[in-house]
Copies of this chain bind each other. A is one copy, B any other.
């Protein structure tokens, strides 16, 4: 749906990135809007020795470079980008684009709000439970596929590798979830997970 209007833009610049390369970093020279064609990337904030992943970009996702966040490719990734001024011009010509774009930004704001709520009010365990339930409903299957390893998930939940590992293994011991193999998790006791997710 979004790609629909992006295709009407004049031809953009193509770029390829290797695993781990930075697609953009804060304070980059030019303000561009880009769409991810293939591969995947994570949006993250970072400080001294910590990182927090705000979200992941998949093929079709749109993002802008002028943020205070970094974007790092997680696998070989290709993007198409345009200077932001072209978007402004196009909006004048085809206003319905603006509405779509605003909806996109709104979604991001929504996501940011959720994250703020989580960080401010909820324990790591609760955040983990919420994440699991959310993933279950996003991927239709009840066996959920983890992206990357512990480290990445930890930074997605805003915690340390160790804490996440401990918590996850406790959940397994308590029979809330099972892990058939490294990359997959099965939610066994949705009831109790929901309880964990809502309380504190």
Question: A residues engaging B (CB < 8 A)?
Answer: 45, 47-48, 50, 52, 54, 67-69, 88, 91-92, 95-96, 98-99, 101-102, 105-106, 108-110, 112-117, 119-122, 158, 200
Contacts and interface: CB of A to CB of B under 8 A. Distances in A.
Nearest to A101: B102
Given A45-B116, A45-B117, A91-B95, 10 more contacts: A47-B120, A48-B200, A52-B116, A52-B121, A69-B113, A91-B98, A92-B95, A112-B112, A116-B119, A119-B119
A47 B117 contact: yes
Contacts of A52: 116-117, 120-121
A54 B116 contact: yes
Top 9 closest A-B pairs, CB basis? A98-B98, A47-B121, A112-B112, A119-B119, A95-B95, A52-B120, A92-B95, A105-B105, A120-B158
Contacts of A105: 102, 105-106, 109
Contact of A68 (B92, B101, B114): B114
Copies in the complex: 2
A156 to B, nearest CB: 12
Contacts of A113: 45, 67-69, 112
Nearest to A121: B47
A158 B101 CA distance: 31
A32 to B, nearest CB: 15
Contacts of A54: 116
A112 B116 contact: yes
Contacts of A109: 67, 105, 108-109, 112
Contacts of A200: 48
Contacts of A68: 110, 113-114, 117
A200 B112 CA distance: 22
Nearest to A46: B121
A101 B91 CA distance: 12
A146 to B, nearest CB: 21
